[in-house]
Amino acid sequence: MELEQLRQLDAIAREGTMSAAAVAVHISQPALSRSIARLEAELGQPLFDRVGRRLELNEAGQVALDHARQILRDERLMRDALDALARRTRALRVGTVAPAPLWRLTALIVERFPQTVLTSKMISEAQVEAGILDGTLDLGIALRPHTLPGVRSRQLMVENLSVSLPQQHRLADRGDLTAADLDGESFLLLGAIGFWREMCDRAFPHSEFIIQEDRDVFEQLTLSTEMAYFVTDAPSLSAPRQGRVVVPIRDAMAHATFYLLALADGRREATDVFDWVSRQ
């Protein structure tokens, strides 16, 4: 179960239709439908009754919603407390669409500004942009350069996706693969991967994803699983495993360019970091 699924449940309850809720949470309607279906499967029962074009919570859904909203309130309180701490300690607040560019940014900051503290959260592209504009984020990591008034943007890194397969897999001898080649496979998938999660739903509609939220447990499972899983050229996730083959995915969706965003007249600490990264 993911926090984003709880936000989606809340949005459907508030908006009344899947299409309106998809707009509210900034994802496509098919991706939202699949996400809620996974939540219902995990909870073991349906949460909604369909009345015409509207979705209405059934008894189980109302119980789930009550608990989901309490969890989301607790999460907001935690973030508010961390934001307050960040303001007191002069930490930089970072919003990112994926984990790998945050690791890259952190490595650069440690190299030049070892005393700087970061607080980060993984959010959508639209939320990154809004956070930079309203000043709730000091730095943002997005999937495209922005020409917004008063916003600076520079390329931070490129991440390329491959798939790790057992050596005996029918596709293991291929030089590269497409999403169509892999659609229908079962994948072990690390949770909290930002925009890549929705990309997987879109690119592999017939696949099953076994989600593991704990990264240490995920890495242990990669040593024994026969399932496919994704690897990238981000150093912390690119180590080869014995008995497996890494095959590049050639579709455009498997290649992401990330950009660092900051306000031109933002905090001096954020400006210093942005200038340093721009020179690397």
CATH of domain 158-255: 3.40.190.10
pLDDT digits (tens, 9 = 90+) for 13-63: 888 888 888 888 888 888 888 888 889 998 998 998 877 777 788 899 899
Strand 92-96, strand 186-190: pairing: unpaired
Cβ atoms within 10 Å of 133's Cβ, excluding its own:
17
User: Is 268's pLDDT higher than 90?
Assistant: no
What pLDDT does residue 33 have? 87
Strand intervals (E) in 133-254: 139-142, 151-166, 186-190, 208-212, 228-232, 244-248
Tell me, which fold does domain 3-75 have in CATH? Answer: Arc Repressor Mutant, subunit A (1.10.10)
Mean pLDDT of 74-91: 76
CA pair distance 125, 95, nearest whole angstrom:
9
| Same fold across 3-75 and 158-255 | no
Task: Decide which of 4 and 182 is more confident.
Answer: 182
C-alpha 125/C-alpha 155 separation (Å) is 15
Quote the distance between the C-alpha of residue 38 and its chain's center: 17
Q: Look at residues 256, 197, 253, 258 and name the one whose alpha carbon lies nearest to residue 8.
A: 197
Q: Does the pLDDT of residue 112 top 90, yes or no?
A: no
CATH of domain 90-156+256-278: 3.40.190.10
Listed by start position, the domains of the chain span 3-75, 90-156+256-278, 158-255
